[in-house]
Chain A
Amino acid sequence: MSHKTLTEKIFESHINREPRIGEVVVVDVDFAMGQDGTSPLAIQKFYDMGGKKVLRPDRIALVIDHGAPSPTEGFANLHKLMRDFSYEQGIRLFDIGSGVCHQLIPESGFAGPYDIVVGADSHTCTYGAVGAFSTGIGSSELAAVMISGKLWFKIPPAIRVILSGKIPSGVYSKDIVLYLAKTLTADGATYKALEFDGDVIDQLSMDARFTVSNMAVEVGAKAGIFPVDEKTKVWLREHGRDNMCDLSIDPLANYESTVEIDVSKLEPQIALPHRVDNVMSISEIGDIPIQEGYIGTCTNGRLEDMEIATSILDGKKIHPRVRLIVACASKSIYLEAMKKGLIEKLVEAGATVIPPGCGPCVGTHAGVPSDGENVISTANRNFKGRMGNNKAFIYLSSPATVAASCLTGKITDPRRFL
């Protein structure tokens, strides 16, 4: 059988024979990552399992991003455990201020085409944007990879997602992926891989593709993989990778199903509380006042996102009853945004810029909403309690919609400001 899904092609390159969908294989993992919510338990499990030395320290990175800088004593002690372990084992540690794991791993050249990458964080699927099969695992599994360099996988069937048409002005990759979440629902792709195809891909920057792959797990998918094109290769070269092979969709491959989305008529989309697939077009939702806006996270904390938000906020002031929090996804994005004058403009407009990291996204610190408040955020999850208060309401959108909403104090169509 010569027609293969991207997933099959990637697994084939690791097992050196024809893969069968549904079979369980144990493969060498190219890179593994843990963050500060999952690594401390992985370190404990590493020793429980009898681990002494990490097999391939050059293939592991730990990231302190979920509570960075440490908000509590508990966090601080777990961070120390990670710092000590990294130092002893000679593995790369991204300490506070470095950024969010899912930006740092691809940005550092640790993920690329045909790689199998795992991370003890569900949004590890983000690196599908650069043609990797990357997926979230648990802490015990991270420990198993540290000891053996390997992990077991059940080779998943794939869904071909064809994105076609021309992306309208004011509509972004976040709107496309929110619409996809609505179409597939929160468990529509459980145990499966999403593979993206269609002429929209050419219109998406690498930053925009990361946003789409990032949210694959929100429909239950194991991975969300883009083909590798010239744009991918240029980006990867800029980020320290040079051994690149082509990876393209074969329409004759055995796709379990195909979903086609014509984006030409798409409006900005909003996910309403408390479900990521509870999505509506902006023209349908009516007046919803907001008290907090958040631009950042591994979904939309990249340079392009900062540029889009700044283009709307530049020279204006946010609504007096609104707080806007901004966090770049990594230190290098933060520096770039400073050099370009974006940070200055955002602060002038009334934004509070916090260090690169997760913070408000996961409710650990720096932006917990109060009871009954509405937040509009560029994150990927709006579960009840997600931002640290189960009596608050989280709406998800593109950075443009967050910026526009912060100006008016209610959820607002960004096309008004373009």
Chain B
Amino acid sequence: MILHGFAHKLGDDINTDYIISGKYKFNTLDMKELARHIFEDIEPNFIDKIKPGDIIVAGRNFGCGSSREQAPLVIKNAGLSAVVASSFARIFYRNAINNGLPLVECDTSRIQDGDELEIDLENGVVRDLTGGFEMGINPLPPFMMKLLQDGGLVEHFKKYGGFSIG
């Protein structure tokens, strides 16, 4: 799986309230509708600034805060293809993998806003085509890679009728 898109750079500690504010998420299960409000509290009209396939690039502790699974779903439904961050909060991490949203953990300090990126998940490489450098990425534990390849927890359960390990 090779992903290709432009970087939208955000800071450290981007919490799930910033990804999608509680005032919207409780009102509907329509993720397309929720996606219109993505990152609105920290960057108004963010949705108008992105193109399909674009990639969120952030610092430490991305996805901290509440357990809302709407957060990775909204990122997917906004058309974003992956999140690259120095580190992730754990519930967000699980939720993203469970919904088939690729997450990449690596040092993001050299990636600039707007850089063209290529992510090769199989071979564990992020290439910054604009900056002209590449980085190795921390691999996913095998069980999580399997969930991601299955397309998330729902698809995994459909395929196996339950957890395929243990």
Contacts and interface: CB of A to CB of B under 8 A. Distances in A.
**Chains A and B form a bound pair:** yes
A138 B41 contact: no
B22 A121 contact: no
A36 B28 CA distance: 11
A37 B95 contact: no
Nearest to B42: A384
Interface in A78-93: 78
A143 B163 CA distance: 12
Contacts of A50: 157-158, 161
B94 interface: yes
A328 B111 CA distance: 47
Contacts of A44: 29
Interface residues of A, number: 56
A217 B157 CA distance: 28
Contacts of B90: 190-191, 220, 222
Given A141-B98, A154-B141, A383-B18, A186 B13 contact: yes
Contacts of B61: 186-187, 190, 220
A220 B69 CA distance: 17
A103 B38 CA distance: 31
Nearest to B86: A187
Interface string B14-41: 0101100111011111000000000001
A41 B98 contact: no
Contact of A137 (B27, B94, B166): B94
Contacts, number: 149
Contact of B22 (A37, A143, A147, A152): A37
A187 B158 contact: no
A152 B67 contact: no
Contacts of B152: 140
B22 to A, nearest CB: 5
* Binding site secondary structure of chain B: loop
B79 to A, nearest CB: 20
A24 B141 contact: yes
A114 B100 CA distance: 32
Contacts of B29: 40-41, 44, 78
B125 interface: no
Interface string A121-137: 11010000000000011
A144 B97 CA distance: 14
A187 B28 CA distance: 30
Interface stretch (A67-75, A258-266, A316-324): A67-75
B4 interface: no
A119 B68 CA distance: 11
Given A38-B68, A138-B69, A186-B64, A74 B18 contact: no
B153 interface: yes
A108 interface: no
B69 to A, nearest CB: 4
A66 B65 contact: no
A138 B98 contact: yes
B163 A148 contact: yes
A45 interface: yes
Contact of A48 (B154, B162, B166): B154
A26 B160 CA distance: 14
B89 interface: yes
Interface string A360-397: 00111000000000000000010111101010000000
A384 B157 contact: no
Given A138-B95, A144-B153, 6 more contacts: A26-B165, A141-B153, A148-B162, A186-B64, A190-B87, A364-B26
Nearest 5 Cβ contacts at the A-B interface: A26-B166, A74-B27, A187-B61, A138-B95, A138-B69
18 contacts: A25-B166, A26-B165, A37-B22, A37-B26, A37-B68, A41-B29, A50-B161, A74-B26, A78-B26, A78-B29, A140-B95, A144-B157, A148-B162, A150-B162, A186-B61, A190-B90, A222-B90, A364-B22
